Every structure is written in C-alpha cells, then in structure tokens.
C-alpha cells in the first residue's frame, strides 16, 4: 500500500489548476511512489477558495494560507500565488517542515531565492520550481546525446524563447513590468537559460543586452506608466565546457507563440529543436555516410523515456499539460529519494542569478562572471 | 449539484486506461454536465480486474462483464475489450438501457455494426465510438472554414493514414489480420475515411485498391500463416458535394508513425494538415493580396475551441491524450442532450460500410456506390 | 579541338528561350563533347524569327521551318513549336538525318509518338524529350539509393504533380483542353508518371480516375466551350517490381505551384521529396540506431552529381533553369555516344502510352494492362 | 544597336567562372543596356590564362594583369583574384578609368576599402562588390514590405550566416585565417550584416563577441599554426530606426551549409527567411483575421521582380547562379545610369567598417559606435 502525501495548494488560478491537473495525470500515467491527496486549498477570499475546492476536488478550503501551511496534516505546500508572495509562503512552509513546490520565478530577486534555497536545504525538505519545458522527453534525449558524446565536443549554442504576448503597446502595465523581477529576460529568457544549462552545463560568463522597446504602458487608471523592464533581453554566453553561445528572451516577437528553440553544434554533430514542434528533435551526425548526411527529424516515441507512459505508439505526441505531469512525477520520486530533485530551489536560484547577472552586465555594458558558475 | 453518472469499464488494457484518463482529464478541463464515478471494472480474470480497479480508482472489480452490464447502478458501459466481443457486449448493455461507449472499430462487419446502431437508436441510449483524431480543434477549424465557404466550392481531396507498425514482415499474425474486419484499410484507412466525411460530407461512390504485400506472417507456433487482408488500401472517392478525391490506409509505410494527413482544394482556397504536426493547420487563400499569397501555418490557440480549456496561451500544444478528453466531454454533453452525439454507433456503422464497399470494389475491380452515401 | 554541332531552333517562345539558355549554360558548366553553335532559327513570321535571332544570337532566321530542317549545315533540330506540329517537324528532321530535341509532350497521341520513335530508331539519330524534373541531382540520388538497395525491397509509392494554373474557371479554353492530348493528366500527370518509372521501373497495370471539374470555359469569342479533358487525373499503379502505388496530376490545386512530390516506401527505408524544395531529399533508414531514427533532410551538394559543376559548395541550390542545362548536357553526351539517351522519343512514347492507358481505364472504369510495361 | 562593353577578367578560378557565367546568363535573361564581350583574361601564368581563355570564350589571354588594366579597349575590369591583391588591381583599374567589379571582401581592411571607394568616386567610375544573396527577389520583397510599412514599425532583428566548412579542426590554415581581414565574421558574418542593413537600414552601435574555437591548424608544412581569427563572430546591434537585434557569423556550425537566415519583428507583422529554402519568404500579419493568423509561406514567382525573367510560372525556383545573373544585370544598368549601383565600393567599405567595429568592440569588451552609421 502506497503512502499518501497530502497536498496543500495556495492559489487557484490558471497555474493552480495546471498543477492539480498535473498531479492527477501523473497518478494515472506513472507508477508513483505516493498517492497524493488534494487536502487543502487556500485563496484570497473564502468564496474563491471554496469554489476552487469544489471544482478541483480538495477536501478543505481556506482564505488563510498561513493556516494551510501550518496544518500538520499537509505534506506538500504547492505555491501558485503571485510571485511577490512566493518567498514568505515558502519560508513559512519550510519552517513547518513541508516539501515545497513553487511556480517560477522562484522569487523576484536572487537574494530572496538564495534565502529560500538555503532554508530548504537546512530543513532537508524537497523543493521544486516549475520549469516544465525541461520535462520534454526530447530535451532529455538531447541532453543524453550531448552527455554521451554523440555530438563530439560542444562548441556553439543558440537559444531563444520568444513570444508575442506583450507585443501590443496597448497592453497594460502588470506585475511582469515591475523592475523587481519583471521583464522579458526574467519571464521568458529564464526558460532559454534553464535549457542552455540543462543541456551544456554551467554558464560562467555573460554579456547582456536588455532593451525596452515600449517605453510606457497604460496604468489602468487612464494614465500611462513608464516601463523600466526589458522587452527583449539578449546575452552572449561562455560555458564551463568552453562552448560559447547566445540566448534571447523576447515577448514582443510578433507572430511567435512558443519559440523556445535551440541549436547545439559539436565537433561530430548538431541538434536543432523548436518548441513550436516539441515532439521532434533534429539531429545531424558526421558519422552518417557521405552524400547521405542531413538533419534527421526524430519523432518522439516510446524509445524516449517517459513518452511510453503516455502512449505505447510513437508519433502520437505529448501536449503541454503532459509535461507538467512529468514534472510532478519527477518531484514525487525525488521526495521518495529515488532520484535527485529535478529542478529544486537551488536551481531556481541559479536561474535568478543568471538573469540578474545579465541585467547587471547590460547596465554596465560589460561582461560579467556568473557567481558560482 | 451535478448529477453523477456511474461508469462501468470492460477491459483494462491500453485503451481502457486511455479512457479512464480521458474521463478524469475531461472532468478537470471542462465544465461537464455530469460527475462521472468510476464504479465497476470487468476484465478476464478477477486478479486482472482487481489490479486494474486499484490502480485506476474503481470501486468494484469483476471477471463477469455480464454482471457489470446488468448492474442497475451503472449508467455508461465503456467497452475496450477485443473487437470480436464488441457486438455481444454492446447489445447486452443497450438491452439493459445503458449508454455505450465503444472503441473503434465498432464491429468487424458492417452488418453487426448496423444491428448495434439500430438497437441503440430503438433503445434511445447515447452511443460513442472512439474516433479521436476528429476531436482536434484544428480539424474543427478546418470543417468550420469549409462549411463557412472560406475555401469556396470544394473540388479536390487527398487523405492518408499511414504508419509503419506492420512493416516488419517478421511481425506475427494477429487479430488485425483476420479477414473479418482486419487489414490496413479497416484499421487505419478508417481514420482517413472518417476525416474525409467529417470535412466534406458523404462519399457516394468509391473505387478500391487493396493489396497484400506481406503474403504470410509467423503464426506464433513456429509456422507461417497466409495473410488475406490488405497492407495498403486505397480508394478513389466521389463526394455528394461533387468533389472528388482519394484516400490511402497503409500500415507498412516505413518511417511513418502518424501520417494522418489531408489536403483540401477549393475554388478560393486550400487546406493542408498533417497529424505529424497536429497543432497546425495550413491555409491558402486567394483573397490574400497578389504577391503575398501562400500557405499560412495557423498554430492552435484559444481561438480554436476547445483549446482554451487546456491552456490559456496559444502555441503550447495539445497532446494525443487531450484529444481523448475532448472526445469524452463531447459524449457527456450529448448524453445531457446539449449537443448531438459526436460519433455515435450510426457513424461507426458508416465507416464500416465505407470500408466494406471499398473492399468489395477492390475485389470486383469496379466502382461501387456507397449504400446510404 | 571540339567538333561543333549546329543547332536549328524551331519556335522562339518561352521554351525556345529556355532551350537556348540551356545550351549556353551547359557549355559553361559542363565539359561537353561538342561546341554547339546557334545556327538557324525558324518562327511563324520572318519578323518574329529575326527578332529572336538577334536577341538569342543565332546566325540565320527564317519563317520556313522546312528549309531549316533541310539545311545540310544543321546537326540538331530543336522543336519548341506548338504540340500539334511536333510530329510533322520531327519526322521531317529525322528524314533529313538530324538529331531531334523536342519539348514535351512528344505528340498528342501515343500512335504519333510511336511513329516518331520508330522513325528515329530506324534512322539512327539521337532524340530527346524535355522531362527536366528528372535531371535533378536529388532524383538521381533517389534512383541510385533505390537501385543500390538502401531502401530494401520497394513496396509502395505515392506520386503527385499538382499546380493551380487552371484553377480559375474564367481561364479560357486553350489547346491544353483539346481532347487530343490535352488535360491535367497529360500535361502534369505525365511528369508524375515519368518520375515514378524513373525511380521504380516499369508500370504494368493501371486503374485510372479522370475528372472534369470545370465543365466549360470561355471560348475567347464571347461564348463558352465544353471541356472534355480532365482537370484531375489519378491512377492506381502496379509496378513490374511488385510495388504498388498511385499518382495524381492536378491543375486546379489552388495554392500549389509545383507540387511534384513523391514518397517511396521500402522494407528498409523510405524517401520523401517535394519539388517545392527540390534541393532536398528526405531519407529514412531502419539501419539508424533505435531512438535516433527519422527522416533525414539531405541537402544537395557536390556529392550529388552533377551539382558540383554548378557550385563547389553544398547548400547553394540549383534552380529550374539549371535542370535544363543538365538535360542538354546529357543529350549532347548521348549524341557523342558517351551514354544512353537520357529521355529519348521511345521514352516520350512510353509516357504517352501510360497516359492513354490511364484515360482508357478511367473511361472503362476498369484496370488496364500497360502495353509493353 | 546596343553599345558593347568589353570585359577584362582577372582570375579564372571558381569565382571567375561564376562571373563569366553571370554575364552570359544575364545577357539572355535580361534586356540589358549593353552587350558585354569577353575580351581579355589574365591569370598568374600564361598557360593558365590561355586555358581559361579558351574554355570561357575570351579573345585574349595574358599573365600580366597590369597590361589588361591598361588596355584602352577594356571597359570593365572584373577582379576575382585573391583578396590581398584587390586593392592594387582596383586602384590601377580606376586610375585607367575603368568600371570595376570586385569579389567580396573588397579589401582586408576598412582603410584600404575606403581608399578604393574614394578613388572610384573621384574617378566617376561605377563599381560593384559581389554580395549576391541580396539579389534574391525574396529579399527585395522583404525590403519592400518593410519599407512599405507592412510590418509596422520594426522592433527586432535576428540574422545569421552559419556554415560548417571550417568545422573540421584538421582543415589547414589558409588566407581566410589571416588576421588581416580573415575570420568567420569577415567571411560569413559580412553577409549577415549586409542583409541586416539592406532590410533595416544603418546600424549605429554594436557589441561584438568573437571567439576562436580551433586554436591552431595544420600549416601545410607538417607543423601547426596558431589561429588568431574568429570561428564565430556575434554582435548585438542598434539600428538608426531604433530597432535592436543580433547577428552571428559562424563557419564551424556542423551540419549547416547555408544558414543565411533572418527574422524581422515589427508592430504589425513579422518575416522569417532561410537561405536553406531561399525561394520562400514567411510572412506573419496581424491584419489577418483572428483565428486565421500564421506565418504564410510565400513562394517566389513572377510577382516578385525579377523572377519572371527566369521563368514565367511561379514555384519553379531560382538557383544560386541565377542570383549572380541578377547582380550582373543590376551592375550593367547602373553603368548605364538607369539605377544606382546595387552594391558599390562604398557599400563594400561599409561592411568592412561594420566588421572591424565589431572586432574592436569584441576586443575591448564594450559597445562601439559605428563610424558613419
């Protein structure tokens, strides 16, 4: 009989639902080490919390997240509240000895993220930040191919995460435009950075270029508010493995909905990937026979763990929500000690550190070494 | 308070799990008219049934599907047992007044499917056959565009469903090679036919071409068994709307995993689609300005119902299992009388009729009118 | 010192210029066995002929093609006049002992083409019909891969040639709509048939489906003229090598400009090609390692003869006119006895035979054996 | 009667042949203002020159380029000799009052290029540098769309030129590795820079990142020689129109043969282009109807000048050599005063200036303003 972990969810907006869905899907798709019971749900008002409780199948609703965090019954605190609250909530949960699952970004500032990571490590609880693009079996395949030497020595990298959801200059000022932690680099470039290090290992030096293209946005009160955060954030990169590269985070890339792309060039081969077609990985190998070389479109299938959990036949394709289920499963296995945490608070801190170093470099107009890189 | 429907599942293999998963996902993603409770599960042995019951979260397990079908508590009988048993189970369930959800193909032979469809209609129960490729929002978009005249008058169609899972001549003889209902046309071509009629309406005449390329397969007992079913089934088509076209079903198409593709040509525009990238629909319009015309890659997003149920942002992509959740939601809405049945037994019969008419045409080497087309 | 062949060109429209350009380009790109001198040019009026003579660099102009054909100085007669005149001109040229290069289609009817082929063979002159899509190095690569067994035993084929230049119902009736030799199958499907046999060898049996979608077209005199030729021509195919397949010729495929595509499926691999991107060939091999299989996009380069004649670096791409230069070079090498004729009158007859057999099959609604197939 | 210009070619290697071919093709494809007569050809030895003269159809051969340049009969001096000789030859030709056509790069250093540009301008002769990727009708279309406001205000740009022809560390040291003018940025990045300014106008500020990945290469004498030039050169860009962007030049991008790509993002639309499929331009417009938006694949056709000169039908595709013919035609029209010089020595200087500014920026690790930008 499996042990049951009781889940306490804070926040019931889009990401809250996505998490609940992820837990439910993971339970059906994977052979998990635990049952997870949706126990308590907190939201700003009791009415909201109660409505979400009913629709999402939790046992208990509250408008007091502190009581949820303190509840001895709860094993995992899952934070999908606004970013500005992540730190206070997470530290309280850690103090109460809970495992903590927190949506990205972990905290607006690296200093906060560090405090959270260190607290979790001291407390010995398991943590997870939601970087679910990394959960794609094709990214695991890419990492495995790189690590296994199938591309030879890695020399070059190009990474992107471009969308267009802020392209309209009439879109209002939001918390995403707050100088503390906002901007395209922090919001989308962070994914490009996470993928870059997932594949190639630590980045040791960066040169940033962060630009604000839409200088002010409607403040929601009939006026305009100056925007200080970047609409496009770029960086040149140096990796510890001697490869060099670049990334771009961009939320005004008209027409792009999910251009989380990368290309990796090695001495013996190359990979090209686009999240726009994320069930494919394109692989070029110099081992192929002369006159027969070319980028090979590998379609996701049961050969690519854990695709086979979702479907026994190749080519059927995973969707975005399936990636969340993979994320949840990895986290639960880490709680059980079966594997390292897939993307813990320390990893979340790492991304914030990279983002802030790029910001600092861009402001200074000079290269910056990455702390701990 | 929503009414609860109690689900009785027969069969707990891959498709059984997929169905359960579909019900669970649909409940979280959609605002369904019913709660669905996994009540009873039947499988061949009690041990199998009990194991599936525990892992899939049903209340009761049995090795006697007849008792499940007769159980007055059960509202929906969901049949994922081997094809040869569909008819007996479905007729028993209909006789007991249950709604019946049955995996495809509905029955090996059109005559059986007709009996099932007519029984369901007489009994007034709601039925569903699993043709989930049709549940893709991009296919709904295609149908809506065609019906709305965005392509003008439709003239031509090309449809495919090609895979390679029978390409290996050493793969053994299975029930799929049984002359009663087996073969590539019945198994995969049926999807191409369903999509063709979903988009363009009734097919009225066909000319078939069915070929067996692998003449015999291992019989599992050390010998070889002659294969009489087709490895490739093709047809020329005449539609009631005067368009003409062709389809191909192929299970020996080396390298193809999910080539469920179509192209539609009208007087004012065209569509091209590949299930290999099923979150995209390619649209050409002669209304576009001269020098700017071209096939436009529309990516699935919240504009394409019900994508927005799964994700609020475009470009994130649905997966195969999400299509099953859409299928389940449509069925439950049909049970509630909110919409017609998405793909009922009558529709399942229709596909069997098309397949058998193509087979008959191929044997005769002559065109055949499609009954009721 | 190279021997000089003197060229007599009949017709100076688009294809006439393309041929002259092809001879000039071939001379610079290839190390040809002959110099070719543009000697005489015939057109309907002397004024037209003279203007073309000046701009295309011929020595002599005439409005009398018979005198050109009879001129003892001329070695090659190049016919780009309207199709209806091909036969008379070619037979006269052959009678005068000239080599004859004739644009496709060789003749409206197979009977005429046969007469022409037999006359040329009796006379021992070298002939060429313009099927320049076959001159693509990627098609040679495909043929070489198939012949060399890289795909294993060939099982299936899908071929297309679809464009949209007759999609507008207001486009007037032309010689291409003449029942003697007109229609989409003869005009475009002929290319699909030529490619199919180029790759897989002889077609032995066909089942045709030819449809007229635009029943009448403006006759240029204010009235409408009934169209009897096909707008779409399809065929099921049986090859001598036991493969089966299909082709389609279509000139009302809205949005398609050059969909001369094919897919070949064998026991060990597959190929996919589109003329829309004709410097690429996509190759799937079951020899690739598990988990690394996929269609490989081979880009044209110096490894693919004779690409290197045009460019020393891969990926630079050939254009349509380059294919014509390759055609010319092959023909001149054949005149010099260095290789067989690439696509002689006998081959042109073969295509007409296939087209007529498909037409006959479509009319009868029955399979037909291909004469000499 | 057209005036004849007499061509003197220096150098008869690959680029020399490409130029001669370009002149010949242009004469047939375009209605040029001049006849061009291949008059004299110079190469290092008389034997080489004589062989090239015969095969390329020149009247006179010499081993003394100075006599060719001084020859009063010669109107255009065409320089395809090694880069290090460009300056001396061009200045001599300009001094003799000739028009000068020079392969890229114009000169190893911007200072030399400036001297050449100023000399030509003082002498009033017409000059041309070979940047033939810009001659693609799809690039003209892109520029026209941007200039015409079809994308709205331009915000972002990504440009690339990546190949793999130096990816092999065993490839020997060549003149391309010479610190004076060598390296991937100068060789390939120059194309990316030319395209960026062709489309968006002047770059005013750059931040460079130039890396040497292969530290030494065989010196051809059994030893190794240290490489000081870049294998990858990247830059962040600021344009005068307030757009920002980046480019990369890379000659060790394993698997890439011709990745001369760009993406342009504006307030109302976007463009995406790859030289790997250079007969296509992908266009996204926010003017398209909701739910129907997407990148539209525009295929080159007669609507895109001067495609129609090469082929009357769309979709047939131009090749690399056709781009050279367009370049030649533009140059001859400029000599006739019918249009500005397409890419004169001043433009060639501009590219060298950009390259050197990026190099200087990379060495300093700081942004640099571009002189005259």
Tokens for C159?
């071929």
Q: Quick check: C373 pLDDT over 80?
A: no
Chain-chain contact of C294 with A292 (C-beta, under 8 angstroms): no
Instruction: Report angle CA B93, B95, B97 to the nearest 5 degrees.
Output: 75
| pLDDT tens digits along D101-147 | 999 989 889 999 999 999 999 999 999 998 889 999 999 999 999 99
> With an 8 Å Cβ cutoff, is C319 touching chain D?
yes
Using a CB-CB distance cutoff of 8 angstroms, which residues of chain C are in contact with residue D133? none
Question: Per-residue confidence at B194, pLDDT binned at 50, 70, 90?
Answer: very high
Residues C320, D320: C-beta atoms closer than 8 Å: no
Residue-wise DSSP of C235-289: EEEEETTS-EEEEEEES--TT-S-B-EEEEEESSEEEEEEGGGTTEEEEEETTSP
Q: What is the pLDDT of residue C181?
A: 85
Q: What chains are in contact with A, requiring at least 3 Cβ pairs below 8 Å? A: B, C, D
Q: Are D90 and D96 within 8 A, CB to CB?
A: no
- CB of B313 within 8 Å of a chain A CB? The answer is yes
Is the confidence at residue D373, as pLDDT, over 70?
A: no
Q: How many CA atoms lie within 13 A of D68 on its CB side?
A: 30
For C309, which residue in chain D has the nearest alpha carbon? D14
For residue range D190-232, list pLDDT tens digits in order.
999 999 999 999 999 999 999 999 999 999 999 999 999 999 9
Tell me, yes or no, if B271 comes closer than 8 A to chain C by beta carbon. no
DSSP helix/strand/coil, D285: strand
Task: Name the residue facing D21 among C17, C28, C301 (closest C-beta).
Answer: C28
Per CATH, domain D3-132 is 3.50.40.10: no
| Residue D184 sits at the chain B interface (C-beta within 8 Å) | no
Which regions in chain A score pLDDT beneath 70? Answer: 1, 373
CA dist D225 and B228 (Å) reads 69
Residue linked to tokens 């670049």? A246
The CATH topology of domain D137-277+279-311+343-368 is Dihydrodipicolinate Reductase; domain 2 (3.30.360)
Q: Which of C230, C254, C295, C296 has the most B C-beta neighbours within 10 Å, making it the best mutation to test the interface with B?
A: C254
CATH of C137-277+279-316+343-368, one of 3.40.190.290, 3.30.360.10, 3.40.1670.10, 3.90.700.10: 3.30.360.10
pLDDT of residue B103: 92
What is the per-residue pLDDT across B123-133, written as a single tens digit (0 to 9) for each? 999 999 988 89
pLDDT at A132: 87
| pLDDT higher than 90, residue C51 | yes
Chain C interface includes A141 (CB < 8 A) = yes
**B319 vs A: CB within 8 A:** yes
Query: Which residues in chain B are closer than 8 Å to C215, comparing Cβ atoms?
Result: none
**Contact C294/A at CB under 8 A:** yes
Among B320, B22, B269, B323, residue whose Cα is nearest residue B150: B269
Taking contacts as CB-CB distances below 8 angstroms, the residues of chain B near D295 are: 296-297
Chain D residues lying within 8 Å of A295, measured CB to CB: 255
D2 touches chain B (CB under 8 A): no
CB of B273 within 8 Å of a chain C CB? The answer is no
DSSP C116-182: HHHHHHHHT--EEE--GGGG-HHHHHHHHHHHTTTT-SEEEEEEEEE--TT--TTSPP-GGG-TTT-
Rounded to the nearest integer, the mean pLDDT of chain D is 96
Q: Do A293 and C296 touch (CB under 8 A)?
A: yes
Pair type for strands B295-299 and B280-285 = antiparallel
Say yes or no to pLDDT of C102 above 80: yes
Choose among B258, B313, B318: nearest Cβ to A319: B318
d(CA D361, nearest CA chain C) in Å: 31
A252 touches chain D (CB under 8 A): yes
* Cβ-proximal residues to B272 (8 Å cutoff; 6+ apart), any chain: B261, B262, B263, B281, B282, B284, B295
- The confidence band for C15, taking pLDDT boundaries of 50, 70 and 90, is confident
| pLDDT at residue number A372 | 78
- Is a pLDDT exceeding 60 seen at residue D294? yes
D149 interface with C at CB cutoff 8 Å: no
B306 cis-preceded (ω within 30 degrees of 0): yes
Q: How many helices (H) and strands (E) does chain D have?
A: 11, 17
Using the beta-carbon criterion (under 8 Å), do A317 and B316 form an inter-chain contact?
no
Q: What ipTM score was computed for the predicted complex, to two decimals?
A: 0.95
Cβ-based contacts of C328 with chain D (< 8 Å): none
Q: Once rounded to an integer, what is the mean pLDDT over residues B86-114? A: 95
Give A287→chain C minimum CA distance, Å: 11
Residue C220: DSSP 8-state: S
Question: Is residue B373 predicted with pLDDT exceeding 70?
Answer: no
Q: How confident is residue B115, by pLDDT bands cut at 50, 70 and 90?
A: very high
Q: Does B1 touch chain A (CB under 8 A)?
A: no
Residue C257 forms contact with D (CB below 8 Å): yes
- DSSP at D85: G
Q: With CA atoms as reference, report the closest residue to C341 among C187, C186, C125.
A: C125
Q: What is the residue-wise DSSP string for D142-176? A: HHHHHHTTTT-SEEEEEEEEE--TT--TTSPP-GG
Mean per-residue pLDDT of chain B: 96
pLDDT over 90 (residue B180): no
| Domain spanning B137-277+279-314+343-368: CATH superfamily | Dihydrodipicolinate Reductase; domain 2 (3.30.360.10)
- For the record, the structure tokens of D320 come out as 């690399």
Which residues on C lie below 8 Å from A292 (Cβ)? 283, 296, 298
* DSSP type of residue B289: P
Average pLDDT over residues B226-248: 98
**With contacts defined as CB-CB under 8 Å, which chain A residues touch B311?**
320-321
The residues with which D264 forms a beta bridge, in sequence order, are: D157, D271
**pLDDT for the residue B206:** 98
**B-to-C residue pairs, Cβ atoms closer than 8 angstroms:** 106
Domain ranges across chain B: 3-132, 137-277+279-314+343-368
Cβ contact A246:D246 at 8 Å: yes
Residues C139 and C271 sit within 8 Å (Cβ to Cβ): no
Token pair, residue B65, equals 């599907």
| D315–chain C Cβ distance below 8 A for any pair | yes
Per-residue pLDDT of C306-342, as tens digits, reads: 999 999 899 999 999 999 999 999 999 999 999 999 9
A340 touching chain C per CB within 8 A:
no
Answer for the pair D333, D2: CB distance below 8 angstroms, yes or no. no
Distance set, CA D29 to CA C321, D132, D136, D311, D325 (Å): 11, 17, 15, 9, 8
Q: Please indicate if any CB of chain B lies within 8 Å of the CB of A363.
A: no
Same fold, C3-132 and C137-277+279-316+343-368: no
Half-sphere exposure of A246 (CA within 13 A, CB side): 26
Contact map slice: C 39-98 vs D, CB within 8 A: 56
The pLDDT of residue A123 is 98
Quick check: D21 pLDDT over 90?
A: no
pLDDT of residue B179: 87
Give the chain C residue nearest B235 (alpha carbons).
C236
Q: Which of B20, B29, B312 sits opposite A14 (nearest CB)?
A: B312
Distance CA D312, CA C321 (A): 12
Shortest distance between the Cα of C261 and any Cα of chain B, in A, equals 13
Q: Compute the average pLDDT of residues B168-186.
A: 93
What mean pLDDT, rounded, does chain C reach? 96
Higher pLDDT residue, C336 or D179? C336
Of C169, C232, C255, the CB nearest to B244: C232
C-alpha distances (whole Å) from C339 to each of C3, C206, C326 are 18, 31, 14
The reply to whether D241 touches chain A by the CB within 8 Å rule is: no
Look at residue A8 in the predicted model and tell me its pLDDT. Answer: 98
pLDDT score at A28:
85
What mean pLDDT is predicted for residues C185-189? Answer: 97
Nearest to C284 among B252, B254, B365 (CB): B254
Choose the closest CB to B257 out of A257, A314, A321.
A314
- CB B313 to CB A165 under 8 A? yes
CB contact under 8 A, A294 and C292: no
Contacts of D278 in chain C (CB under 8 A): 317
Give the list of residues 6+ apart from residue C141 with CB closer than 8 angstroms, or none: A291, C281, C298, C304
pLDDT digits (tens, 9 = 90+) for B309-355: 999 899 999 999 999 999 999 999 999 999 999 999 999 999 999 99
Identify the CATH assignment for A137-277+279-318+343-368 out of 3.40.109.10, 3.30.360.10, 3.40.50.1820, 3.40.50.300: 3.30.360.10
Q: For residues A210 and A185, give the distance between their C-alpha atoms in angstroms, rounded to a whole number.
A: 8
Task: Give me the pLDDT at residue B9, please.
Answer: 97
pLDDT tops 60 at residue B220: yes
- Is the CB of C144 inside 8 Å of chain A's CB atoms? no
| In chain B, % of residues over pLDDT 70 | 99
The whole-number pLDDT of residue D328 equals 97
């Amino acid at each position: 009989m499996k042990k049951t972990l009781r889940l306490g969810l804070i926040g019931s907006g889009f990401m809250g639902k996505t998490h609940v869905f992820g837990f439910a899907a993971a339970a059906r798709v994977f052979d998990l080490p635990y049952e997870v019971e949706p126990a308590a749900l907190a939201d700003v008002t009791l009415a909201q919390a109660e409505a979400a409780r009913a629709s999402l199948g939790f046992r208990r609703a509250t408008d007091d997240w502190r009581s949820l965090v303190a509840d001895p019954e709860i094993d995992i605190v899952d934070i999908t509240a606004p970013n500005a609250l992540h730190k206070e909530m997470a530290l309280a949960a850690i103090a109460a000895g809970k495992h903590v699952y927190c949506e990205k970004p972990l905290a607006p500032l690296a200093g906060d993220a560090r405090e959270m990571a260190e607290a979790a490590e001291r407390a010995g609880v398991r943590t997870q930040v939601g970087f679910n693009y990394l959960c794609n079996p094709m990214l695991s395949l890419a990492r495995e191919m790189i690590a296994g030497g199938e591309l030879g020595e890695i020399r070059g990298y190009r990474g992107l995460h471009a969308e267009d959801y802020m392209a309209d200059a009439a879109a209002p000022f939001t918390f995403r435009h707050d100088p503390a932690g906002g901007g395209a680099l922090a919001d989308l470039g962070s994914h490009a950075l996470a993928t870059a290090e997932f594949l190639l290992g630590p980045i040791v030096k960066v040169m940033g270029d962060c630009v604000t293209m839409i200088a002010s946005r409607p403040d929601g009160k009939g006026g305009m508010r100056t925007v200080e955060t970047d609409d496009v954030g770029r960086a040149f990169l140096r990796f510890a493995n001697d490869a060099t590269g670049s990334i771009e985070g961009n939320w005004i890339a008209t027409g792009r909905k999910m251009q989380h792309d990368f290309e990796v060039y090695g001495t013996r081969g190359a990979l090209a990937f686009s999240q726009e077609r994320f069930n494919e990985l394109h692989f070029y190998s110099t081992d192929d026979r002369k006159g027969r070389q070319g980028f090979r479109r590998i379609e996701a299938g049961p050969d690519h763990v854990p695709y086979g959990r979702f479907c026994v036949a190749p080519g059927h394709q995973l969707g975005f929500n399936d990636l969340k289920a993979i994320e949840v499963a990895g986290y639960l296995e880490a709680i059980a000690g079966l594997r390292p945490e897939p993307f813990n608070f320390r990893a979340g801190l790492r991304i914030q550190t990279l983002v802030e170093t790029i910001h600092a470099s861009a402001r200074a107009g000079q290269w910056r070494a990455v702390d701990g890189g």
